[in-house]
Amino acid sequence: SAAAKLQAEPIVGARFLALSPDGGKIAFSYLGDVWVASSDGGRAIPITNNVEMDDRPVWSPDGKQIAFTSNR
Protein backbone atom coordinates (compact mmCIF):
# COMPACT_ATOMS: atom_id res chain seq x y z
CA SER A 1 0.00 0.00 0.00
CA ALA A 2 1.04 3.62 -0.44
CA ALA A 3 1.01 4.28 3.32
CA ALA A 4 3.33 1.32 3.96
CA LYS A 5 5.71 2.53 1.26
CA LEU A 6 5.74 6.06 2.68
CA GLN A 7 6.47 4.81 6.18
CA ALA A 8 9.53 2.93 4.93
CA GLU A 9 11.06 6.11 3.46
CA PRO A 10 11.98 9.43 5.09
CA ILE A 11 9.16 11.98 5.00
CA VAL A 12 10.24 15.13 3.19
CA GLY A 13 7.88 18.08 2.93
CA ALA A 14 5.80 17.65 6.09
CA ARG A 15 3.84 20.83 6.90
CA PHE A 16 2.04 22.41 9.85
CA LEU A 17 4.05 20.62 12.55
CA ALA A 18 2.37 20.56 15.97
CA LEU A 19 4.16 19.33 19.09
CA SER A 20 1.97 17.58 21.68
CA PRO A 21 1.62 19.32 25.06
CA ASP A 22 3.95 16.80 26.73
CA GLY A 23 6.49 17.07 23.90
CA GLY A 24 6.36 13.33 23.18
CA LYS A 25 4.61 13.36 19.80
CA ILE A 26 4.42 15.51 16.73
CA ALA A 27 1.44 15.79 14.39
CA PHE A 28 1.88 17.08 10.85
CA SER A 29 0.29 17.28 7.41
CA TYR A 30 1.74 15.19 4.60
CA LEU A 31 0.25 14.37 1.21
CA GLY A 32 -3.19 15.63 2.27
CA ASP A 33 -3.46 13.58 5.48
CA VAL A 34 -2.58 14.12 9.14
CA TRP A 35 0.19 11.94 10.56
CA VAL A 36 1.63 11.44 14.06
CA ALA A 37 5.13 10.36 15.07
CA SER A 38 7.26 10.30 18.18
CA SER A 39 9.13 13.55 18.63
CA ASP A 40 12.28 11.38 18.97
CA GLY A 41 11.80 10.09 15.42
CA GLY A 42 10.71 6.72 14.11
CA ARG A 43 7.71 5.49 12.18
CA ALA A 44 4.97 8.00 11.35
CA ILE A 45 1.39 6.77 11.44
CA PRO A 46 -1.40 8.37 9.39
CA ILE A 47 -4.44 9.27 11.49
CA THR A 48 -6.49 10.33 8.46
CA ASN A 49 -6.66 8.49 5.15
CA ASN A 50 -9.03 9.83 2.54
CA VAL A 51 -9.13 11.74 -0.74
CA GLU A 52 -9.98 15.03 0.98
CA MET A 53 -7.34 17.53 2.13
CA ASP A 54 -6.74 17.29 5.89
CA ASP A 55 -4.17 19.64 7.40
CA ARG A 56 -3.22 22.10 10.16
CA PRO A 57 -3.34 19.68 13.12
CA VAL A 58 -3.65 21.16 16.63
CA TRP A 59 -3.42 19.15 19.87
CA SER A 60 -6.00 19.52 22.62
CA PRO A 61 -4.55 20.93 25.87
CA ASP A 62 -4.57 17.45 27.47
CA GLY A 63 -2.88 15.88 24.41
CA LYS A 64 -5.60 13.27 23.93
CA GLN A 65 -7.17 14.64 20.75
CA ILE A 66 -6.09 16.34 17.54
CA ALA A 67 -8.25 18.84 15.67
CA PHE A 68 -7.54 19.60 12.02
CA THR A 69 -9.03 21.38 9.05
CA SER A 70 -10.55 19.49 6.15
CA ASN A 71 -12.27 20.35 2.86
CA ARG A 72 -14.91 17.62 3.30
pLDDT mean by block of 10 residues, the chain; 72 residues = 60 93 97 95 93 96 97 86
Give strand pairing partners of 58.
Answer: 67
pLDDT at residue 5, rounded to an integer = 53
Q: How far is CA 39 from CA 4, 9, 10, 24, in A?
A: 20, 17, 14, 5
Could you give the count of Cα atoms lying within 13 Å of 66 in the half-sphere of its Cβ?
Answer: 25
Grouping H, G, I as helix, E, B as strand and the rest as coil, residue 8 is helix
What residues contact 19, with CB distance under 8 A and at least 6 apart?
25, 26, 39, 59
pLDDT at residue 15, rounded to an integer = 94
pLDDT at residue 3, rounded to an integer = 57
pLDDT at residue 28, rounded to an integer = 97
pLDDT at residue 44, rounded to an integer = 94
